[in-house]
Amino acid sequence: MEQLYGTGVALVTPFKKDGSLDLDALKKVVRHSIEGGVDYLVVLGTTAESVTLTKEEKKRVVETVILENNGQLPLVIGIGGNNTSAVAEELKATDLTPFDAVLSVSPYYNKPTQEGIFQHYKVLSSASSKPIILYNVPGRTGSNILPSTVVKIAESCPNVIGIKEACGDIEQIKKLIREVPDGFYVISGDDITALPTVIEGGIGVISVLGQGMPSEMSRMIRYGLNGEYDKGHQLHNALTPGMGLIFEEGNPAGIKAIFESLGISTAAVRLPLVEASPELKSKIAAFVQSFAIPI
């Protein structure tokens, strides 16, 4: 699974001003990411507002990304939820042939115990025909997958091959990297922890900012993977304000504001999310337009 090294991007789902899908804009987002040098694409993740998409819309989004990518980059699909049996059925019913892996978020809202999380992924492991990447994002799910649980899953479920770690706690990330079995991948799920995660032994990031500023994020991660830490830190420091801005009013409102400033898509999101404020849009546009790679 070396195709998961480097910078993956969690693709947005562009909407027209009336809230309908904008598949032409989605094609532009995919091209912008590919041309910017990212390493793989993640479709139907949290950033895609997948919980607000109908089954038919999800199908159209997936088909559009596959066609526009045209085999150029590896693809990962997000399939997760808090109803274990329903997620297992979706895994069985979905044609996973075009995808290299499945990204599956830890059950949200239910707040399962560590044993519940383990049993959830054990079921999904049996149901999936493709490798699974765990997704730990306590700020959204209300529960935290502890390193000991990740190790237990890794040792019990051979096709669970890695974790997108968005706990935001670098000490937990360090502990995780130390304890997981050899060959189990730790991928940063937060832009701000991406470089530190790579320096500690992670293999890359699944990024939000990376689809808006693909060459910059990809370059930073390559510096980290190549041991060019000084260059990586300089680029990280330059990108840090942008990482903060795009999450200031929630995701994906911020990254969609970048695409609006670039003329790629509108900044429209679906309720209960709302567009970035005019003030934030102005700050985001200024950051992107004035950004200069320091190296």
Separation of alpha carbons 54 and 85, rounded Å = 19
Q: Which residues contact 230 (CB under 8 A, 6 or more apart)?
A: none
Considering 5, 121, 135, 223, which one is annotated as catalytic? 135
Considering 28, 58, 130, 164, which one is annotated as catalytic? 164
Per the listing, tokens 């990108």 go with: 239
Q: Which of 130, 14, 30 is nearest to 71 (CA)?
A: 30
Q: Which amino acid is at 76?
A: V
Separation of alpha carbons 216 and 270, rounded Å = 28
Q: Is 164 a catalytic residue?
A: yes
Other CB atoms within a 10 A radius of the CB of residue 266 amount to 17
Q: Which of 33, 14, 17, 36 is nearest to 25 (CA)?
A: 14
Sign of CA dihedral 46, 76, 183, 107: positive
Whether the ω angle into residue 196 lies within 30 degrees of 0, i.e. cis, is no
Residues of 34-61 as b/e, b for ≥16 C-beta within 10 angstroms? bebbbbbbbbbbbbbbbeebeeebbebb
Q: Is 17 a catalytic residue?
A: no
Separation of alpha carbons 163 and 189, rounded Å = 9
Cβ contact 8:204 at 8 Å = yes
Catalytic site positions: 135, 164
